[in-house]
Amino acid sequence: MFRNVKQKIRINLFNELRPAQIIIFSFLLGIIIGGFLLMLPLASNDGPLDAVDAFFTSTSAICVTGLIVVDTGTHFSKIGQIIILSLVQIGGLGLMVFSTFFIMAFGKSLSIKDRFMAKESLLGQISFKNLFSVVKHILIITFSLEIIGALLLYIPLSRSCDAGFALYSSLFHSISAFCNAGFSLYSLSLIKFSNSIYINVVMAGLIIAGGLGFPVLYELRTKFFKKNNRRKKLSLHCKIVLITTASLLIFGALFLYLLEIKNPAHHNSHGITLLEAFFQSVTARTAGFNTIVIDKLTNPSLFLLIVLMFIGGSPASTAGGVKTTSLAVFLALIKSLYSGKDKVNIYKRAIPNEILYKVLSIIVGSIFLIICVNIVLQITESGFCPHNKVQGSFLATLFEATSAFGTVGLSMGITSSLSTAGKFILMITMLIGRIGPLTFALAIVRKENTQKFEYPEDSPMVG
């Protein structure tokens, strides 16, 4: 009898929820559990965290953001650090595995429509027989890359510290890098390794791999490691992701280097090195590690980082932002409009109007969200002070809001000093940024019936 009652309660609670709502519920549940665990005395070295900071850290970890209110390496005990790392791993797999688990757990079975939606969100155009095959391949690729990354990082770290900490640190940073989380055991992130080409390349490789997305990783794996598929052409999605990612990395590094070449505030006194510019270009698009002091950058460089954080990584990845594919389609749309073409084409393929509408809604909605968050942060942190009394705060809060939305974790140093209201606003922003603004909108809007009639067309003047 008790089992029947329990089953009815579960069905009543979750049977009417749409997949987007279950995704949000899964993340909220993870945030709540993580927050309570981080409040335990065993999780901290300097006394337990208060509720706000504990839930903020939990949100930042499971949304793979990396914004911190206390130092991860010194404030948290090994238990607390492992809790954070576990949340990062769950959040990194998030939409790909964690949410699928909840969708399948809260109900007898998924409908054909829901299974199709889940597979599309995980894999795009890749075909698998069932979702279990999807999860298996995601786990294999994820854990393989994280283990390889940890082994590569262990080599240099073992030379500067004892073997136990070197192994723990390499595994922690490998998972944090692949999941694009940005959590570090070092108080100054990776600044101490700013001149190490080896560590910079390994960390950048993990960040890029995590940001490419599982569909691209799987397609590259099958193309280069299976003889029969080597002559097979890459899909449009894979081409867009690879070319857009490479372009952002190159141009981001180049412009950042040029913008800082005369900045005497850095340790080099002649700006930053090309290695530092490259790594910051990589990590700015959602990882959150830094090898330079962010608040010493010039205003143009900070705005460049804001743009990179807004773009983010690629779909079905551990990264946030509006995604590289959205940027590519949006630029192709602009090009088509200005050239007077009726169709948007990318690499000899026409883009459906449905995708164009989706891209526009994502980009415009994301810009509107960041504007609103920045306005609210200005109110909560600066009150109604005149501009000449709070100069610089606008850029700092805009940077923080974009970092939270893009699940990046870079900061100009204001995170720990934010008010309770400011931290709560950033928690919501991190959650929306992780699950995606479109998914969030689909979860909160009422499900409408299909419209059975059409209104007459009219043409207002625009432009």
Residues 6+ away with beta carbon under 8 Å from 157: 166, 169, 170
Ranking 29-33, 104-108, 169-173, 413-417 by mean pLDDT, the lowest is 104-108
Residue 272: pLDDT band by 50, 70, 90 thresholds? confident
Using DSSP, state whether 76 is helix, strand or coil.
strand
Do 290 and 207 form a contact (C-beta atoms < 8 A)? no
User: Is the pLDDT assigned to residue 320 strictly greater than 90?
Assistant: no
The mean pLDDT value for 331-341 works out to 91
User: Is the pLDDT assigned to residue 370 strictly greater than 90?
Assistant: yes
User: Is the pLDDT assigned to residue 107 strictly greater than 80?
Assistant: no
Ranking 80-94, 107-121, 158-172, 333-347 by mean pLDDT, the lowest is 107-121
Do 304 and 252 form a contact (C-beta atoms < 8 A)? yes
Percentage of the chain lying above the pLDDT 90 cut? 55
Residue 316: pLDDT band by 50, 70, 90 thresholds? confident
**Total-model pTM:** 0.89
User: Is the pLDDT assigned to residue 27 strictly greater than 90?
Assistant: no
User: Is the pLDDT assigned to residue 128 strictly greater than 60?
Assistant: no
Beta partners for 226? Answer: none
What letter would DSSP give residue 44?
B
Q: In this predicted structure, what is the pLDDT of residue 139?
A: 81
User: Is the pLDDT assigned to residue 375 strictly greater than 60?
Assistant: yes
What letter would DSSP give residue 410?
-
What is the gyration radius of the CA atoms in the chain, in angstroms?
22
The mean pLDDT value for 263-285 works out to 85
Q: In this predicted structure, what is the pLDDT of residue 329?
A: 95
User: Is the pLDDT assigned to residue 2 strictly greater than 90?
Assistant: no
Q: How many CB atoms lie within 10 A of CB 442?
A: 17
Q: In this predicted structure, what is the pLDDT of residue 11?
A: 47
- Between 133 and 4, residue with greater pLDDT: 133
pLDDT digits (tens, 9 = 90+) for 140-149: 888 999 999 9
Residue 367: pLDDT band by 50, 70, 90 thresholds? very high
User: Is the pLDDT assigned to residue 365 strictly greater than 80?
Assistant: yes
The mean pLDDT value for 204-230 works out to 83
Sign of the torsion angle spanned by Cα atoms 190, 192, 194, 197: negative
Q: In this predicted structure, what is the pLDDT of residue 129?
A: 55
Q: In this predicted structure, what is the pLDDT of residue 318?
A: 84
Residues 6+ away with beta carbon under 8 Å from 291: 189, 190, 191, 193, 194, 200, 275, 276, 279, 280
User: Is the pLDDT assigned to residue 387 strictly greater than 90?
Assistant: no
Q: In this predicted structure, what is the pLDDT of residue 108?
A: 44
Do 92 and 318 form a contact (C-beta atoms < 8 A)? yes
Residues 6+ away with beta carbon under 8 Å from 285: 211, 248, 252, 308, 309, 311, 312, 313, 319, 321, 406, 408
Q: In this predicted structure, what is the pLDDT of residue 153?
A: 96
- Between 390 and 304, residue with greater pLDDT: 304
The mean pLDDT value for 367-379 works out to 95
Do 218 and 141 form a contact (C-beta atoms < 8 A)? yes
User: Is the pLDDT assigned to residue 120 strictly greater than 60?
Assistant: no
The mean pLDDT value for 378-394 works out to 82
SS3 content of the chain, % helix, strand, coil (to 5): 65, 0, 35
Do 95 and 82 form a contact (C-beta atoms < 8 A)? no
Q: Which two tokens stand for residue 383?
A: 């009150």
Q: What is the mean pLDDT of the chain?
A: 85
Q: In this predicted structure, what is the pLDDT of residue 277?
A: 94
Ranking 72-81, 106-115, 278-287, 297-306 by mean pLDDT, the lowest is 106-115
